[in-house]
């Protein structure tokens, strides 16, 4: 693998319940990321539909078709793609992120932590396992939105060898500073790269601030979005990450016998 990882975050204003419009926006953003030389791209949370709870089961029926379109794009472009979509299995609905590489789904992560404040747990079923997966670009860990508030998940992924955390989100105002602070903290404390894709604009009563971020293993913000549609790109340096880890040896100095063991 190359020492350089070229990544992109695709930020856009979702149209609630309009799969075709959202798919067109996503593919246009991915094409822009490809033209900029990105090898890895992350889309927002539930980007094909938004949280259209009343119709979510029907909208989830379109997800296999949407994934086929992403697989076709991945095959043509050689890019690794990550994004969250509604997934239906039997009577259960999940918020699922797929990792697509070489034109095929190589990993699927179902959101572990459902945001009860907004009623996610009344409409969706929580996943029951984390995901770290090898891809042609890097070893990737995946989290979704509210997962960001649970640092133990990120440490688990780091211990399992994740180099990049991909985080799709629909994180609304007024919690911008929580978003930015927590994303930087997850990068700093685990000494890995973070690609976070948030949506922007209004969806019903919710106002999304965008502010998608690409963050280095030192916690430096390499690219940051505003409140409108944007494709952000940055390059991560593996050698710099390893040098940082050798200088500040957080993993070597851990004391799991005191505060608990993680696999």
Q: What is the pLDDT of residue 259?
A: 85
pTM: 0.96
Cα(4)–Cα(7) distance, rounded to whole angstroms? Answer: 10
Indicate the helix (H) or strand (E) that contains 221: strand 221-224
Q: Is the pLDDT of residue 9 over 70?
A: yes
Q: Is the pLDDT of residue 262 over 70?
A: no
Q: Is the pLDDT of residue 212 over 60?
A: yes
74-130: per-residue pLDDT in tens?
Answer: 999 999 999 999 999 999 999 999 999 999 999 999 999 999 888 899 999 999 999
Among the listed residues 25, 34, 88, 111, the single catalytic one is 111
Q: What is the pLDDT of residue 261?
A: 61
Among the listed residues 25, 120, 145, 241, the single catalytic one is 145
133-163: per-residue pLDDT in tens?
Answer: 999 999 999 999 999 999 999 999 999 999 9
DSSP state of 63: H
Question: What average pLDDT does range 165-181 have in this prediction?
Answer: 96
Is 45 catalytic? The answer is yes
Task: Label residue 105 left, alpha or beta by phi (over 0 means left) and psi (-120 to 50 means alpha).
Answer: beta
Q: What is the pLDDT of residue 76?
A: 97
Percent with pLDDT over 70 in the chain: 98
Q: How far is CA 155 from CA 137, 188, 204, in A?
A: 21, 11, 35
Q: What is the pLDDT of residue 263?
A: 53
Angle between helical axes of 19-35 and 63-77 (0-180°, round to 10)? 10
CB-count exposure of residue 91 (10 Å: 0-12, 13-18, 19+): exposed
Cα(236)–Cα(186) distance, rounded to whole angstroms? Answer: 16
Q: What is the pLDDT of residue 205?
A: 84
Indicate the helix (H) or strand (E) that contains 187: helix 176-190
Q: What is the pLDDT of residue 119?
A: 81
Contacts of 185 (CB under 8 A, 6+ apart): 151, 219
Burial 57-89 (b: 16+ CB within 10 A, else e): eebbebbeebbeebbebbeebebbbbbbbbbbe
What tokens were used for 144?
């979704």
Q: What is the pLDDT of residue 203?
A: 87
Among the listed residues 25, 45, 87, 163, the single catalytic one is 45
């Amino acid at each position: 693998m190359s020492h350089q990882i070229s990544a992109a975050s695709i930020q856009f204003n979702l149209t609630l319940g309009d799969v075709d419009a959202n798919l067109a926006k996503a593919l246009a953003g991915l094409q822009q990321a490809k033209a900029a030389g990105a090898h890895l791209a992350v889309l927002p949370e539930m980007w094909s539909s938004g949280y259209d709870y009343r119709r979510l089961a029907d909208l989830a029926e379109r997800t296999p078709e949407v994934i086929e379109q992403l697989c076709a794009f991945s095959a043509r472009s050689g890019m690794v793609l990550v994004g969250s979509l509604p997934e239906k299995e039997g009577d259960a609905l999940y918020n699922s992120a797929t990792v697509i590489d070489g034109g095929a789904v190589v990993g699927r992560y179902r959101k572990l932590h459902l945001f009860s404040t907004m009623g996610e747990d009344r409409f969706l079923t929580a996943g029951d396992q984390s995901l770290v997966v090898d891809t042609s670009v890097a070893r990737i860990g995946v989290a979704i939105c509210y997962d960001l508030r649970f640092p133990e998940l990120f440490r688990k992924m780091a211990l399992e060898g994740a180099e990049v955390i991909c985080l799709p989100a629909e994180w609304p105002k007024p919690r911008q500073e929580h978003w930015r602070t927590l994303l930087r903290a997850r990068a700093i404390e685990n000494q890995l790269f973070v690609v976070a894709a948030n949506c922007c604009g209004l969806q019903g009563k919710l106002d999304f601030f965008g502010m998608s971020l690409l963050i280095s293993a030192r916690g430096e913000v390499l690219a940051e979005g505003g409140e409108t549609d944007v494709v952000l790109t940055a390059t991560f340096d593996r050698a710099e990450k390893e040098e940082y880890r050798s200088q500040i040896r957080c993993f070597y100095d851990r004391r799991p016998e005191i505060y608990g063991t993680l696999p």
